[in-house]
Amino acid sequence: MSERFLVPGLVAASVVAIFAACLLGSTPLAADRVLAAFLGGADVGDRLVVWQIRLPRAIAAFVTGAALGISGAALQGLLRNPLAEPGVLGVSASASLLATFSLYYGLAALSPWILPLSAIAGALAATALIALAAIRTRSVVTLILIGVGLSSFSGAAMSLLMNLAPNPFSLSDMINWMLGSVANRSFQELGLAAPFLLAGTIILLVSRRGLSALTLGEEAASGVGLNLRNQRILTVLGAGLATGGSVGLAGAIGFVGIVAPHIIRPFVKHDPARSLIPSALLAGLILVMADIGVRLMPTTNELKLGVVAALIGAPAFVWIAMRRRTLNG
């Protein structure tokens, strides 16, 4: 697919996937019934299934993937490392930790804003630490190790909170956020996460030109007028807001933010600025398709979306890392 048709093709595929998500489920609906539900002409049951259950879930999967995809592409451009993404660098785990913290202490029950705000605070803290490390060191290995450390610490802290959970209901809520899911999401929850997802996306798109300059190296980019400090701050802020919003909506979902930009990069001539929108669309499409698979799997209990994404994304991540090592060596 040429770059000219890349974005329109991904948009069309995403629309088809979301429509398919409204068709498929434990009880499939015919296309004419779904169309009638969209137009308000179907029976009450069909409208309820489409508007209250399947459509919000599909949109939640898409915007979550889109946020992770654009964040991953931006972080890869900032750090000039194709292995960077919110999950690998510990951003998603840190966001999940603070979200879990708010659930454990009952803070999330005080206001519907507490959970997404907690997730965003965790994401911003982690991305700020990664950005600070990027300023102080040029070693990609060091950044990856810091990300591994953040993920390990956050995972251990979440395990401690689960171990100390006061009741099974709190434990269930925490597990849901750790494993990632868009089941039972509503338009209200989408509305709560939307300001943060939108703000992060806008910041990343506004500052995307600097990512292209960074491909020349920091000294050359600074020589052509790029303010490196502002670029880091804007990228970190945008990625933190988008990732935090996605975790507040769907919990921790890893690897899609690294796989999608890697697939897109050859189509945009390895330009990180031009990869942002296609990466977002592809990551959203991947999560919608994965969520359809989750619903169709013949399991007693529905698998969590984050688990399926990791089962698909982790081998892809290993392949990307091995391929990069082979090309470099």
Q: What is the pLDDT of residue 203?
A: 95
Distances, alpha carbon 216 to alpha carbons 89, 134, 213, 234, in Å: 23, 16, 6, 19
The structure tokens listed for 73 are 């592409």
Q: What residues have CB less than 8 Å from 253, skipping those under 6 apart?
A: 64, 65, 68, 87, 92, 180, 246, 287, 305, 306, 309
Return the structure tokens found at 144: 């990856």
Give the CA angle between residues 202, 245, 295 to the nearest 5°: 115
What residues in the chain have per-residue pLDDT under 50? none
List the domains of the chain with CATH numbers: 3-328 (1.10.3470.10)
**So what's the pLDDT on residue 210?**
92
Q: In whole angstroms, what is the distance from residue 236 CA to residue 89 CA? A: 12
Q: Which two tokens stand for residue 76?
A: 């890869």
Q: Which two tokens stand for residue 104?
A: 């454990």
Question: Can you give the pTM of this predicted structure?
Answer: 0.90
CA distance 311 to 194: 28
The continuous run of DSSP H or E covering 167 comes out as none
Looking up tokens 């993937």, which residue turns up?
A: 65
Contact between 268 and 278 under an 8 Å Cβ cutoff? The reply is yes
